[in-house]
Every structure is written in structure tokens, then in C-alpha cells.
């Protein structure tokens, strides 16, 4: 009897053990399936974002062709290729004191530079920031510009050490809103952005509005230059380095400008400039090509944006959007598997994962990825995810960043190809690389995505060398430029000044 009991117990234990083992095995199998689903989502996304050098060269060619089309006719390309009427850039020979006013968001900056007449000779530079009260962003033209003019007047008087208005001071004006430029010192506001909504100013001449406010406030200053931040960046770097041929902004948004030959701007037949060239504002954020590696996440982001089918390039490479692409991929992974736990409602909130946070995830080099865990918990309310899943999140960030940086590199090479600085001799040239002598070529770059995000910068440089080849890439220098939007405007005011004319000619000289 006792033996039967023992045997029965043993059998029961064995059955229980088998049952437990079956449960454990079942869980492992289920876990492996979940993991495989996550890996499949990542693999599909990685492949869809692929930027092999062959595809990048197709983007280069498409960019150069679209630039050509945009110069040929209005509306001929997604690239607007806007004339800036800046036909001369600072050379370093400029002397004197010049002012700049930079209005582009919820604050404005005023700046003064003292130039010594030698390249890179900025003897002194003063700058002040002033917030714009929110109520002025929706009131009247006079209220807004009187406030700005008053701030500028205080700045000028403080610098002069007196209460008397200056006489004959040239002012460079950076106005980073959509403007159709009509001359180097005039442009019509197309629309407001960034929270401004002064309806009676839309369609008005921007500089006239500012000039009237300067007069009302007793400032005898003349606005001689109206520019956007990209052109200012190019002007500042050209002041330091005469081999500068283009400028790129890669930050929250993105844009590019470059120096083009006047005879290549076909849509303005007979355009005459003193230098034979003109800076063209590409508005390259609106570039589109079938060669761009867009994914379902990109299409969804675009469709849900306030401007669907616009700014396609910007939505793939700029800081405004990269973090949200990562969020969308994580959301898809979370829906495919419960390995993240219950689906967090935060994952359905657009732009909750901003690009600086994405960069922090990508740059986390701690053994257990503590920064990744912190951001996932505090921002997305996803906690206690395994280390291998955290590594997967880092990989998603890497894929998004690498694609963006490599496409930005292709865009830069597209500009170089259009002007014959990529070693091929230009878009219409039949010359080969072997019989083209490559000149030193500088591209100014400004924007936090490039300047502050190490991996983005490294990916971009890597792609540039792959596309151009080491021999050609050796001649292309990407230079970080700081505060070009304001300082560059002051330098352009100096380049336009009658006091910087020598023997009947301005000191600004085109260098292409």
C-alpha cells in the first residue's frame, strides 16, 4: 500500500513537473515569437530606409536636375530656387560699424559689428535678445514694428553712449518668414508662421513696414539688405573663407543656398549683376524625387501633417520630424508585441519624442542603457523593458538618423554637381573626373542637428566621402558656422555700403 502511494506521488510529481516544463517552454516559444516579430518590424524598416551609395548618387542627380528646372522657369520644379538679389558677398575688405536685426520667432535679436578692413577682422561684436510679447504677434503692423524699432533704438543709443540717434547707419534685416524677394532690400510677406497672425501685413512690403517704424521712432537708419538665415550663414562664412560656395541649415528645419552664375538663371533672362552671379535660395526642404527612400511611417507622418505633400525632403532629414518617425516605429512594435508591456497612450501623441531625446537615446553608451530606460519611462511611460529591447530602440534611432544624414549629404553633393564642384564638371558637362581639376570648396553648415548631434555629423561625412570618392572629397570642406543669420546680415549690409566702394567698384566679388 505504501509503495503504491509512493509511486502515485512520484507520478503526480512527474506530471506536475512536465506541466511546469511545458508552461516554461510555451512561454519561451511565445517570447521568441514576440521577439521575432519585433526583429521583423526593424528589418523591414531598415531595408526601406536603405541608402546605398548607388541610390544616393541617384538623389544627387535628381537634386541637380531639379535645381536646373527651378532656374529655368517659375513653378518648373518643387525647388523654388528664389532669387535673393545678393550678387556680392563680404570679402573682408569691409570697414566700419554695421547693424543687424534678426526677426524669426518669438524673440528678435539686434547686433552691431565693427569691421577692420581685413578678412575675419571683426573688431567688436555686441548682441542683445528681446522677447516679443505674445499679444504683439496678433495685433497690428505698427504695434509689432514699433516695439522692435524701440528695442533697436535703445541698443544703438547704449552703444553710442548718448541719447542722439545715429546718422547714416546701414542695417541688415533677417526676416525668417515666407517672403517673395523683389530686390536685395525689399520683399513681400507671403504668409505668417510660428504663431504670428497679423493679417493686414500679408501681401505688404516688409522693409517698408520696418522703415516706417524706424522713422516713427527717430532712427535715421537705412535697411540695405533683406535676407533669410541661410543667406546670412553663407555671407558670414564667405567673410572668413573666400572658397565658400554654399550654405546649408540643418536644424529644426532645413534649407540651402548657393552662388549661381547669372546666365544660368534662365527664368530671368538678361539678369545683370556686378559680379556675374547671384545667391539663390533653394528652399530645398520641398525637394522630392522617386529615389528618396520613403517608408509607410513617412507617408503617414506626411498625411497627418498640416502641409501634406509639401516639404518632403525636410520631413526626412530635419530635427522637427526625426524623433516622431522613431515614435511611429516604436508604436508599431508595441502593437505587434506586448514585449513593451501594455501599449502606452503616449506613443499615440505626435511629436512627444523630440529629436534631442532621440539623439540622447542614440548616444547612450552606458552598459545597461540607463538613459534609454529613463527616456522611455519618463517620456513614453514605458518601464522595465529588457536590455535587448532597449538596444532595439537605439537601433531604430540609428536607422532614422543615418538615413537623414546620408540624404543631406546627397543634397549637398547635388549642389556641388550643379555648379561643377563635385569633380564631374557640372550638370551639362561631358568632362570626366580624370580631366577636371578640383578646387577647394567650402560649404557652411549651421543648425543643431549637425553641430550638436555627433552621430548625425559622422554619418553625413561618411556618405559625402562615399559619393564623391576620397580624392574629390578631400577638396570639400564642411565648416560649422555660428550665428550666421544675424552676423551675416550685418556683413551683407557692409558689402552693400557705399563706404566700401573702392575706385568705383564694391569690394564684394563673386568667387565660383
Higher per-residue confidence, 489 vs 29: 489
- Percent above pLDDT 70 for the chain: 87
> What are the pLDDT digits (tens) for 44-74?
999 999 999 999 999 999 999 999 999 999 8
Distance CA 405, CA 274 (A): 36
Instruction: Give per-residue pLDDT as tens, 424-442.
Output: 865 544 444 444 578 999 9
At 396-407, the pLDDT tens digits run 999 999 999 999
Q: How far apart are CA 352 and CA 343, in angstroms?
A: 15
Mean pLDDT across the chain, nearest whole number?
86
What letter would DSSP give residue 274? S
Catalytic residue among 87, 102, 112, 176: 176
Residue 229 known to be catalytic: yes
109 is catalytic: yes
pLDDT of 278 higher than 70? yes
Grid coordinates representing 508 are 564684394
Tell me the CB-side half-sphere exposure of residue 192, using CA atoms within 13 A.
17
* Domain 85-227 = CATH 3.30.420.40: yes
CA distances from 3 to 6, 17, 350 (A): 5, 21, 69
Above 80 in pLDDT, residue 189?
A: yes
Closest to 494 measured CA to CA, from 217, 278, 166, 171: 171
Domain locations along the chain: 45-81+241-482, 85-227
pLDDT band at 30 (very low <50, low <70, confident <90, very high): low
- In tens, the pLDDT along 360-379 reads 999 999 999 999 999 999 99
For the segment 332-339, the average pLDDT, to the nearest whole number, is: 90
- C-alpha cell, 67: 535645381
**Interacting residues of 103 by C-beta distance below 8 A, sequence separation 6+:** 148, 173, 174, 175, 176
Same fold, 45-81+241-482 and 85-227: no
The pLDDT of residue 275 is 76
Give the model's pLDDT for residue 448: 92
Distance CA 462, CA 59 (A): 16
Range 397-435 burial, b when 16+ CB lie within 10 A, else e: bbbbbbbbbbbbbbbbbbbbbbbbbbbbbbbeeeeeeee
What is the full DSSP assignment across 460-510? Answer: HHHHHHHHH-HHHHTTEEEEE--SHHHHHHHHHHHHH-GGGEETTEES---
What are the tens digits of pLDDT across the range 74-94?
A: 889 999 998 999 998 998 888
Give the phi and the psi of residue 25 in degrees, each rounded to 5: -60, -40
d(CA 98, CA 104): 20
Is 77 one of the annotated active-site residues of the chain?
Answer: no
Average pLDDT, stretch 331-358? 92
Q: What is the pLDDT at residue 2?
A: 57
C-alpha to C-alpha distance for 179 and 228, rounded to whole angstroms? 9
For residue 511, the model assigns a pLDDT of 40
User: Which of 454, 366, 365, 334 minimizes the C-alpha distance to 402?
Assistant: 454
Lowest mean pLDDT among 43-57, 112-126, 454-468: 112-126
DSSP state of 120: T
d(CA 446, CA 479): 8
Cβ neighbours of 231 (radius 10 Å): 27
From 57, 87, 102, 109, the catalytic residue: 109
Task: Give the pLDDT confidence score for residue 12 in this predicted structure.
Answer: 53
Q: What is the pLDDT of residue 419?
A: 96
pLDDT tens-digit readout, 156-188 = 988 765 444 344 488 999 998 888 888 999 999
Q: What average pLDDT does this structure show over 270-283? A: 83
Predicted pLDDT at 313: 96
HSE value, Cβ hemisphere, 13 Å, CA-based, for 489: 28
pTM, 2 dp: 0.86
Q: Which of 77, 102, 112, 229 is catalytic?
A: 229
| CATH topology (fold) of 45-81+241-482 | Hexokinase; domain 1 (3.40.367)
On the question of pLDDT at 116 being above 90, the answer is: no
Amino acid at each position: 500500500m505504501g509503495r503504491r502511494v509512493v509511486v502515485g506521488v512520484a507520478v503526480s510529481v512527474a506530471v506536475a513537473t512536465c506541466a511546469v516544463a511545458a508552461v516554461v517552454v510555451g512561454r519561451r516559444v511565445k517570447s521568441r515569437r514576440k521577439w521575432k516579430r519585433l526583429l521583423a518590424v526593424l528589418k523591414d524598416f531598415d531595408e526601406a530606409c536603405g541608402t546605398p551609395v548607388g541610390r544616393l548618387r541617384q538623389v544627387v542627380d535628381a537634386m541637380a536636375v531639379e535645381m536646373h528646372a527651378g532656374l529655368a522657369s517659375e513653378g518648373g520644379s518643387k525647388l523654388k530656387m528664389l532669387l535673393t538679389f545678393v550678387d556680392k558677398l563680404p570679402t573682408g575688405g569691409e570697414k566700419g560699424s554695421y547693424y543687424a536685426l534678426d526677426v524669426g520667432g518669438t524673440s528678435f535679436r539686434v547686433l552691431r559689428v565693427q569691421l577692420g578692413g581685413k578678412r575675419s577682422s571683426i573688431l567688436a561684436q555686441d548682441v542683445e535678445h528681446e522677447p516679443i510679447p505674445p499679444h504683439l504677434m496678433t495685433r497690428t503692423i505698427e504695434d509689432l514694428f514699433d516695439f522692435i524699432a524701440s528695442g533697436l533704438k535703445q541698443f544703438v543709443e547704449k552703444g553710442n553712449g548718448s541719447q542722439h540717434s545715429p546718422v547714416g547707419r546701414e542695417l541688415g534685416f533677417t526676416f525668417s518668414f515666407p517672403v517673395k524677394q523683389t530686390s536685395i532690400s525689399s520683399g513681400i510677406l507671403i504668409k505668417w508662421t510660428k504663431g504670428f497672425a497679423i493679417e493686414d501685413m500679408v501681401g505688404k512690403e516688409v522693409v517698408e513696414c520696418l522703415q516706417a517704424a524706424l522713422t516713427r521712432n527717430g532712427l535715421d537708419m537705412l535697411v540695405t539688405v533683406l535676407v533669410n538665415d541661410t543667406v546670412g550663414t553663407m555671407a558670414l562664412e564667405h567673410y572668413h573663407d573666400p572658397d565658400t560656395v554654399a550654405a546649408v541649415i540643418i536644424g529644426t528645419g532645413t534649407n540651402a543656398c548657393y552662388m549661381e552664375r547669372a546666365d544660368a538663371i534662365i527664368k530671368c533672362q538678361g539678369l545683370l549683376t556686378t559680379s556675374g552671379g547671384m545667391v539663390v535660395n533653394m528652399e530645398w526642404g520641398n525637394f522630392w524625387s522617386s529615389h528618396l527612400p520613403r517608408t509607410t511611417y513617412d507617408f503617414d507622418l506626411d498625411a497627418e501633417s498640416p502641409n501634406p505633400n509639401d516639404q518632403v525632403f525636410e520631413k526626412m532629414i530635419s530635427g522637427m520630424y526625426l524623433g516622431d518617425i522613431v515614435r511611429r516605429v516604436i508604436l508599431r512594435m508595441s502593437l505587434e508585441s506586448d514585449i513593451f508591456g501594455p501599449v502606452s497612450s503616449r506613443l499615440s501623441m505626435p511629436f512627444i519624442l523630440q529629436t534631442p531625446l532621440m539623439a540622447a537615446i542614440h548616444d547612450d553608451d552606458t552598459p545597461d542603457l540607463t538613459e534609454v530606460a529613463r527616456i522611455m519611462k519618463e517620456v513614453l511611460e514605458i518601464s522595465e523593458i529588457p536590455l535587448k529591447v532597449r538596444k532595439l530602440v537605439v537601433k531604430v534611432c540609428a536607422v532614422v538618423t543615418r538615413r537623414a544624414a546620408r540624404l543631406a549629404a546627397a543634397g549637398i553633393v547635388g549642389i556641388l554637381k550643379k555648379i561643377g564642384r563635385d569633380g564631374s564638371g557640372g550638370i551639362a558637362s561631358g568632362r570626366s573626373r580624370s580631366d577636371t581639376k578640383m578646387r577647394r570648396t567650402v560649404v557652411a553648415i549651421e543648425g543643431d542637428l549637425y553641430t550638436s548631434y555627433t552621430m548625425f555629423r559622422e554619418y553625413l561625412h561618411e556618405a559625402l566621402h562615399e559619393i564623391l570618392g576620397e580624392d574629390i572629397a578631400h577638396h570639400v570642406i564642411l565648416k560649422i558656422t555660428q550665428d550666421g543669420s544675424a552676423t551675416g546680415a550685418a556683413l551683407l549690409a557692409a558689402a552693400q555700403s557705399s563706404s566700401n566702394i573702392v575706385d568705383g567698384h564694391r569690394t564684394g566679388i563673386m568667387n565660383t
